């Protein structure tokens, strides 16, 4: 007899499936708080043994890549959603930024840059994500709702700045990030203001930080 309920919620398989999630969440939380954290800290936070980790990820580096890759997938999904959004260009753009800040996809980027060797796959995903970001940005710029002189690469830098906001309480941290995001959005929306000083970061300047030494 077959049921539509996915799994009896007990049984070894279900437990393992749940651990899949728990471990990834724990890993994210731990590495965002401390990029150099030992793998044992992840296991502890997840409430599992170390071997439960190694069963899933053959090495720390592979786990790190997985986390980054997941972050990119979220970023991609949000960017695609923004491109499908029919509301007025500024609202779409601002909401995109708000959702990225909510998803906190840049905390790992910021902390882990240079600590592990990017994958071939990771590289491809990253390129694709960037190409979507370009389209989201250009749509706003072409609609004339952005301050002159801005570039897509400014977005990366802004996301990273916001990811640097850190209080001990996680919920308050998110609140604070939104506080400063609104401040920045107001600055970005000043369509008749002077361009910002200094040439914007080049894609190369942004990418070079990922090279492992």
Partner DNA sequence: TAACCTACGGAACAAACTATTCCGTTCTAG
Partner DNA sequence: CTAGAACGGAATAGTTTGTTCCGTAGGTTA
> Which residue ranges make up the site for DNA (CB under 7 A)?
8, 10-13, 15-16, 19, 36-40, 47-52, 54-56, 58-61
Residues in CB range of 185: below 8 A, 6 or more apart:
94, 97
- Nearest to 71, CA basis, from 23, 32, 117, 98: 32
148 binds its own copies (CB under 8 A): no
Nearer to its own copies, 66 or 147 (CB): 147
Phi and psi torsions of 144, nearest 5°: 75, 25
Which partner, DNA, its own copies, none, binds residue 15 by CB below 5 to 8 Å per kind? DNA
CB of 86 to its own copies, least distance (A): 26
Sign for the CA dihedral angle at 65, 69, 71, 72 comes to positive
Question: Total number of residues binding its own copies (CB under 8 A)?
Answer: 39
To the nearest 10°, the Cα dihedral for 181, 188, 113, 176?
-10
HSE-up of residue 92 (Cα within 13 Å, Cβ side): 21
Nearer to its own copies, 86 or 169 (CB): 169
Rule CB under 8 A: which residues touch its own copies? 36, 110, 154, 157-158, 160-169, 172, 175-176, 178-180, 182-184, 186-188, 190, 193, 196-201, 205-206, 208-209
């Amino acid at each position: 007899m077959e049921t539509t309920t996915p799994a009896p919620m007990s049984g070894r398989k279900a437990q393992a499936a749940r651990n899949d999630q728990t471990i990834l969440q724990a890993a994210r939380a731990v590495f965002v708080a401390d990029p150099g954290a030992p793998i044992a800290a992840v296991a502890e936070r997840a409430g599992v043994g170390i071997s439960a980790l190694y069963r899933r990820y053959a090495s720390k580096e592979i786990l790190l890549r997985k986390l980054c890759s997941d972050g990119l997938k979220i970023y991609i999904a949000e960017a695609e959603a923004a491109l499908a959004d029919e509301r007025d260009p500024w609202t779409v753009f601002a909401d995109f930024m708000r959702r990225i800040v909510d998803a906190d996809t840049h905390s790992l980027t910021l902390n882990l840059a240079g600590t592990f060797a990017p994958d071939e796959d990771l590289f491809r995903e990253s390129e694709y994500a960037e190409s979507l970001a370009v389209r989201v940005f250009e749509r706003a710029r072409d609609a004339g709702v952005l301050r002159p002189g801005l570039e897509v690469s400014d977005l990366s830098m802004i996301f990273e700045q916001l990811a640097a906001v850190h209080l001990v309480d996680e919920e308050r941290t998110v609140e604070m990030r939104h506080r400063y995001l609104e401040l920045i959005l107001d600055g970005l929306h000043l369509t008749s203001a002077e361009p910002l000083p200094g040439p914007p970061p080049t894609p190369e300047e942004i990418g070079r930080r990922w090279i492992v030494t």
